[in-house]
């Protein structure tokens, strides 16, 4: 497996902190069996290992302790904590007592992307002594909620005057990279994770800044309560959902790959996104190792290949599935 693996050394860490190697496999997803065959202690973050989260102490064919922290497949996303909250909980419950190499806490950490959830998870893994600080707990919980709900809703304590602008500054590099289609290779992903880790440290140390909250977007197509939008600001989905859209389809480019996300603001929406993914996979003829998928709250196009379907075709599929769900409910 091709990967870029190097030591993760954000500033502000003591010598006794975990020895982390960050292994970056852009856009790739491993099966659990493949992941468990890797040598030594290893952690998979946020979708790099398929299926629901799991932990294994090692033995019985598993080469060293393994853990996958995820909330994308085969889970109720609203009930399942985001990756960074899972990591926060597990580190607090003794993860580094088991994950050890040469007598020292440590692991290889695998990622296939570098969004806000991944960056926060990496910081938490690297700073176990700081997890009980109130500002750290609030940051992890706030980012966990925003990520779990795909930025369609955020808690009231993140007001538009102070709380959300502070988070916008922390994760500004992620927002800029996404807007500029820069998340395409291992080296740029590594630099991004390291930069955000530095900002998280500044934030929890009281040195963080603020950034204006941009929730602007443009409607490209719409059919009733379903819209295809172009996200201008990083908080565009929340604004679109507040404006009454029941399902939001957004598209962006990552290098030469066209990436489409499908989100809905609530699990109570009658549109079954798992049926949408099934229909889109059939329409596009996706291979089983790179296809449309996700949870019933948010998902999207294949990670590596993106999608060739037009936004109109995707919109028609979502509207058809929504109509079918409405007819069934009636």
Domain boundaries, the chain: 4-151+177-204, 217-329
Mean pLDDT of 1-10: 70
Is a pLDDT exceeding 80 seen at residue 12?
Answer: no
pLDDT tens for residues 25-42?
A: 998 899 999 999 999 999
State the Cα–Cα distance between residues 12 and 203, nearest whole angstrom: 12
Which range among 8-22, 55-69, 248-262, 291-305 shows the weakest confidence by mean pLDDT? 8-22
Characterize the bridge pairing of strands 247-254 and 226-231: parallel
pLDDT tens for residues 146-203?
A: 999 999 999 888 988 899 999 999 999 999 998 877 656 899 999 999 999 999 999 9
Count CA atoms within 13 Å of residue 127 on its CB side: 24
Q: Residue 13: what pLDDT?
A: 61
Mean pLDDT of 33-58: 93
Top-level class of domain 217-329: alpha beta
- Residue 94's Cβ-count burial label (10 Å; 0-12, 13-18, 19+) is exposed
328 confidence band (pLDDT: 50, 70, 90): low
Q: Residue 77: what pLDDT?
A: 86
Angle between helices 273-284 and 311-329 (to 10 degrees): 140
282 confidence band (pLDDT: 50, 70, 90): very high
Q: Residue 15: what pLDDT?
A: 46
Q: Residue 160: what pLDDT?
A: 85
Q: How far is CA 219 from the centre of its chain?
A: 24
State the Cα–Cα distance between residues 267 and 264, nearest whole angstrom: 8
Cβ partners under 8 Å of residue 111, min gap 6: 22, 23, 24, 25, 44, 45, 46, 48, 118, 122, 189, 193
Q: Residue 5: what pLDDT?
A: 77
Run of H or E including 220: strand 217-223
Mean pLDDT of 229-250: 95
> Could you give the C-alpha distances from 100 to 5, 66, 84, 148, 230, in angstroms and in order?
17, 11, 20, 30, 45
Characterize the bridge pairing of strands 42-45 and 54-56: unpaired
Is a pLDDT exceeding 80 seen at residue 106?
Answer: yes
Computed on alpha carbons and rounded to an integer, the radius of gyration of the chain in Å comes to 19
241 confidence band (pLDDT: 50, 70, 90): very high
State the Cα–Cα distance between residues 316 and 226, nearest whole angstrom: 9
pLDDT tens for residues 205-228?
A: 999 999 999 999 999 999 999 999
Structure tokens at 220: 């490209």
């Amino acid at each position: 497996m091709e990967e870029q693996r190097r030591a993760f050394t954000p500033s502000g860490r003591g010598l006794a902190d975990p020895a982390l190697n960050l292994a970056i496999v852009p856009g790739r997803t491993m099966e659990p069996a493949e992941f468990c065959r890797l040598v030594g202690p290893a952690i998979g973050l946020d979708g790099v290992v398929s299926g629901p989260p799991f932990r294994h102490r090692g033995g019985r064919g598993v080469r060293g302790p393994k853990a996958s922290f995820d909330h994308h497949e085969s889970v109720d996303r609203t009930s399942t904590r985001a990756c960074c909250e899972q990591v926060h909980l597990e580190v607090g419950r003794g993860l580094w007592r088991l994950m050890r190499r040469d007598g020292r806490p440590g692991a290889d950490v695998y990622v296939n992307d570098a969004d806000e959830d991944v960056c926060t998870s990496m910081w938490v893994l690297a700073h176990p002594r700081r997890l009980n600080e109130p500002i750290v707990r609030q940051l992890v919980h706030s980012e966990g909620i925003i990520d779990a709900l795909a930025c369609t809703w955020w808690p009231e304590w993140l007001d538009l005057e102070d709380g959300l602008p502070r988070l916008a500054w922390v994760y500004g590099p992620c927002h800029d990279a996404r807007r500029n289609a820069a998340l395409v290779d291992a080296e740029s992903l590594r630099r991004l994770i390291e930069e955000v880790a530095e900002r998280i440290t500044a934030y929890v140390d009281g040195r963080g800044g603020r950034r204006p909250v941009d929730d602007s977007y443009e409607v490209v197509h719409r059919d009733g309560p379903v819209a295809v939008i172009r996200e201008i600001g990083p908080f565009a989905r929340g604004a679109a959902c507040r404006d009454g859209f029941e399902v939001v389809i957004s598209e962006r480019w990552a290098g030469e790959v066209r990436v489409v996300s499908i989100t809905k603001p609530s699990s109570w929406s009658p549109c079954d996104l798992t049926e949408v993914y099934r229909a889109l996979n059939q329409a596009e003829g996706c291979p089983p190792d790179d296809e449309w998928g996700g949870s019933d709250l948010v998902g999207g196009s294949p990670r590596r290949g993106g999608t060739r379907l037009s936004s109109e075709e995707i919109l028609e599929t979502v509207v058809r599935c929504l109509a079918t769900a409405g007819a069934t409910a009636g």
